[in-house]
Amino acid sequence: MQFKFDHSLMKRGRVIGLKKRIEKEILNFKEILNKGYNDEKSFVNLVSDKDLLNNVYKIAHKYKNFNSIIVVGIGGSNLGTIAILEAIKGKYYNEFSKTKIYFADTTDPDNLNSIIKLAKGKVLLNIVTKSGTTTETIANFEALFKKFKNIVITTDKGSKLWFFAKEKNFDLLEIPHNIGGRYSVFSNVSLFPLILTGINVRKLLNGALVMRNKCLNSNNPAFVSASLVYLSNKKILDNWYFSNDLESLGKWYRQLMAESIGKNKKGITPIISIGSTDLHSMFQLNLDGPKDKFTCFLSLKKFNSDFIVSNFTENKLVEKINNKSLSKIMNAILNGVKITYMKNKLPYVEIILDKKDEYNIGKYMMFKMIEIVYLASLFNVNAFDQPRVEEYKEETRKLL
Ligand code: PA5
């Protein structure tokens, strides 16, 4: 993974001040490293926890012959799983998999109905909820429970759901108490369903571990990225993913940034744009609208496949594309966009992933989680809570 940026974006004097604040965070990370899960920052320990890995493989092995898995969970309890699955297997992941996987997040009855119709053969319900009391998740669980009897519960050891699962003798997977939902992607939350769908989670964790160690040095990409976003003083972070299969990775990051930084009247609105698709929907605004965005372009060094454009139209319809590969055309589009941004003095950084494999996706996700912790420290907000989300939950409970 490469992280590139224009050095003029670094306002040198101010960066020194920011660095002092980040150094405290780095020290704190180092103090808790490999010491269990006693701190909210201990999500960095998930990637080197051998017991966790052995146990999740053991439980997954019991269900290896199942044909369909329905993951019931929302927010941090399913966004990371979908992101990894789509990045590795592509948007049409079920078409290419022996084991099918479906996600029931919101309480949309039509969505649930489609899932019930699609889930064939031996079906496993994986109920994932840290709190164990999320309305959407428990409502879907109750709706599905009568139809499917094989259940694995992933939750906090102290939750009511944990004790309910024990009573019913369901298989249980733990989410460590101090690991928040949006930082739980390398825990049982995602590892269990990913193993069942054939994702190599060892490689995923390995990439994350390499990146973790890199981001706990005093000069590291997570700090630079957080500082550039902070110093830009922009209200919107526009994440451009130049790969269709990475859209859900964008949604995972959107939650991470929105819930971690958006508080006390502070925050940056993360948005997702897909390259090159959204050049045909957003680009006019980006160039000619308010200059309120900082941009992060994410691209791939190499796609998994490629096609050569024939010369059937002999340059008559679009010049200069004949005999070129689609990846080359995509690259020219991306470079064209970057040049346009430069000419218009629109600030951006760039992330280039070597490829869409477990190792690189693991790296990206760890990079982004540590970046957000550093960014929260720069904004002086708590990266790990989301107190105002409770408001809608309370109102909903009253109405129900
Ligand atoms: O990051 C968070 O903690 C939240 O977004 C949660 O993931 C989300 O609200 C779902 O909560 P739970 O896993 O308790 O059902």
What digits encode the pLDDT tens for the residues 152-182? 999 999 999 999 999 999 999 999 999 999 9
360 vs 245: CA distance, rounded Å: 14
Residue 76 Cβ < 6 Å to ligand 1: yes
52 CA → ligand 1 middle, Å: 21
- Residue pLDDT, tens place only, 192-219: 999 999 999 999 999 999 999 999 998 8
pLDDT value at position 314? 82
256 CA → ligand 1 middle, Å: 11
pLDDT value at position 315? 80
Residue 75 Cβ < 6 Å to ligand 1: yes
Q: Which residue numbers in the chain have pLDDT < 70? A: 12
31 CA → ligand 1 middle, Å: 27
- Which residues lie below 8 Å from residue 234, measured CB to CB, with a gap of 6+? 268, 292, 293, 294, 347
Atom of ligand 1 nearest to the CA of 134: 15
Q: Quote the pTM value.
A: 0.97
| Closest to 100 measured CA to CA, from 58, 71, 129, 136 | 71
- Residue pLDDT, tens place only, 9-26: 877 677 778 888 899 999
Residue 134 Cβ < 6 Å to ligand 1: yes
pLDDT value at position 12? 65
Q: 233 vs 2, 291, 296, CA distance in Å? A: 24, 11, 14
72 CA → ligand 1 middle, Å: 12
Minimum CA distance residue for ligand 1 atom 15? 129
75 CA → ligand 1 middle, Å: 5
End-to-end CA gap in the chain: 48
Q: For residue 66, give both structure tokens.
A: 């199942």
pLDDT value at position 15? 79
| Closest to 336 measured CA to CA, from 279, 294, 298 | 279
Q: Which long-range contacts (CB under 8 A, 24 or more apart) does 246-250 make?
A: 246/86, 246/87, 246/298, 246/356, 247/86, 247/91, 247/272, 247/274, 248/79, 248/82, 248/83, 248/85, 248/86, 248/87, 249/83, 249/84, 249/86, 249/87, 249/361, 249/364, 249/365, 250/274
pLDDT value at position 21? 85
- Residue pLDDT, tens place only, 271-281: 999 999 999 99
Residue 137 Cβ < 6 Å to ligand 1: yes
pLDDT value at position 29? 96
Minimum CA distance residue for ligand 1 atom 9? 75
Residue 279 Cβ < 6 Å to ligand 1: no
Residue 81 Cβ < 6 Å to ligand 1: no
Residue 360 Cβ < 6 Å to ligand 1: no
Contact call for residues 101 and 197 (beta carbons, < 8 A): yes
350 vs 240: CA distance, rounded Å: 9
Among 128, 131, 261, 390, say which to mutate for ligand 1: greatest number of ligand atoms within 8 Å of CB. Answer: 131
